[in-house]
Structure 1
Amino acid sequence: MSKQTLQLRKNLKAQRRQLSKFQQRHSEQSAFNQLRKSPQFRTAKKIGIYLDGFGELRTRKIIEYCFQQHKHIYLPIICNMNKILVWVKISKYQYRNKRFVLHTLGMLEPMRNRGLHVSHLDVLLMPLLACDPVGTRMGMGGGFYDRTLASAPYKPYRLGLAHDFQFLNTNLHRNPWDQALHALITPTKYKCFKRQLSQSYIL
């Protein structure tokens, strides 16, 4: 990883941590309004999503809305054997009563249960550090989403959630194993990308 990429990661993480509670609430509501424009999200029944905990765009409004609309919510757990994510369905009761466990990496996970392969989901709402104009996603560095999605080229619909400053005007380096987004949602943008599944875009 280049020094430039490491510095970019550091700067973006710091910028996320510095957001006030008011900024986070405003961004959450505005991004939720953008998300509701997505036809893929409106028709989806099985939604994969994350629990925010590191300054990511908050997901509470989205999750509660999905429950109201009788959509099924799935949260990721890390499979220790191969370091991919499997997806566990949670109930409204489980979510509101915070029936989760803390992973050693710091994120909350559902109680251990048999998870589904990511291809069973209709839409996957993904956290990120940065996204560029062609849909390249920079994650937190663990590679969990890239490994997971490598075996699911056609489904689910990959939708990134981000703050406005995380959408970059310049292209990121895309490795052959990086999994691009179908679309990105920010508080002010709903941007769709043209994806080429068989080719990598490397700057």
Structure 2
Amino acid sequence: MMNIMHKLRRQLRKQRRQLNHFQQLQAESRVFHQLIRTPEFISAKHIGIYLHAFGEIRTHKIIEYAFSKNKKIYLPLICNMNQHLVWVQINLQQYRNKRFSLHHLGMQEPKCTRGLHVSKLELLIMPLLACNEDGIRVGMGGGFYDRTLAHAQYKPTRLGLAHDFQLIHHKIIPQKWDEALDGLIIPTKLLRFKRK
């Protein structure tokens, strides 16, 4: 099973990297227009979201739009002590001036050492490598989101963003620590899952 997952991760990473700029912008636009019409996004005041770095669905339009609607935006920061994520609020100026530091894994993080617990968010917009029709999310392999959510008393609504090819149609046997999504938005549709 681990060997299959390893191959799948490698294949999907490669597929994501091969998308050209136009394909990425088109996917971002289609996902954006679906997301901003969801009741969860409309009602949320505190939104956790990622900065795209590895070919994931781009989040620029979402972040700019959320600021225009006076929503509070939080970015993940890896806590070195326990490898959990904390959520750091940023403002529009910080975002536009790219006041971030580069993590050794390759993504940008807010320049701050303290952040909020995931329980304080209403909506968590998550990156992923793959997701199946049961809402089982396959991440990049670090387990940061799963670890963080497993210890949360209150869990925000979790929406994954992905390219169409990242919706996979075979069974993923979830590990006991896997945290499923409530919904998945891909350029062609929005899927909703029942949380177990």
State whether residues 101 and 108 of structure 1, in contact with CA within 8 Å, keep that contact through their aligned partners in structure 2.
Answer: yes
The correspondence of residues 91-102 of structure 1 with structure 2, limited to 5 A, is: 91-102=91-102
Q: Deviations over 1:124-180 (max 9, x none)?
A: 000000000010000000000000000225421011010010011112121011000
Measured against aligned partners, the alpha-carbon deviations of 1:82-138 in whole angstroms (never above 9, x if no partner) come to: 000000000000000000000111110001142000000000000000000010000
CA-CA distance at 1:37 after TM superposition: 2.4
- Larger deviation: 119-128 or 149-158? 149-158
Give the residue type in structure 1 aligned to 2:4. Q
Gaps of 5+ in 1: 197-203
Q: CA deviation at 1:59?
A: 0.1
Deviations 1:42-71 (A, max 9, x none): 100000000001000000000000000000
In structure 1, the partner of 2:141 is 141
Structure 1 match to 2:158:
158
1:57 matches 2:57? yes
Give the secondary structure class of the aligned counterpart of 2:187. coil
**1:26 aligned onto 2:26:** yes
TM-score by length of 1: 0.94
- 1:71–1:94 distance in 2 versus 1, CA, 3 Å: same
Larger displacement relative to structure 2 (80-89 or 185-194): 185-194
Q: How does 1:7-26 map to 2 (within 5 A)?
A: 7-26=7-26
TM-score (norm 2): 0.98
Structure 2 unaligned residues grouped into runs of 5+? none
Q: Does structure 1 residue 45 correspond to structure 2 residue 48? A: no
The question of whether the paired residues in 2 share the 8 Å contact of 1:34 and 1:188 is answered with no
Query: Post-superposition, which runs of at least 4 consecutive aligned residues in structure 1 deviate over 3 A?
Result: none
Aligned to 1:121: 121
**In the aligned structure 1, how far is the partner of 2:111 from the partner of 2:3?**
38
Residue 108 (structure 1) aligns with: 108
Aligned counterparts of 2:21 and 2:66: Cα–Cα separation in 1: 23
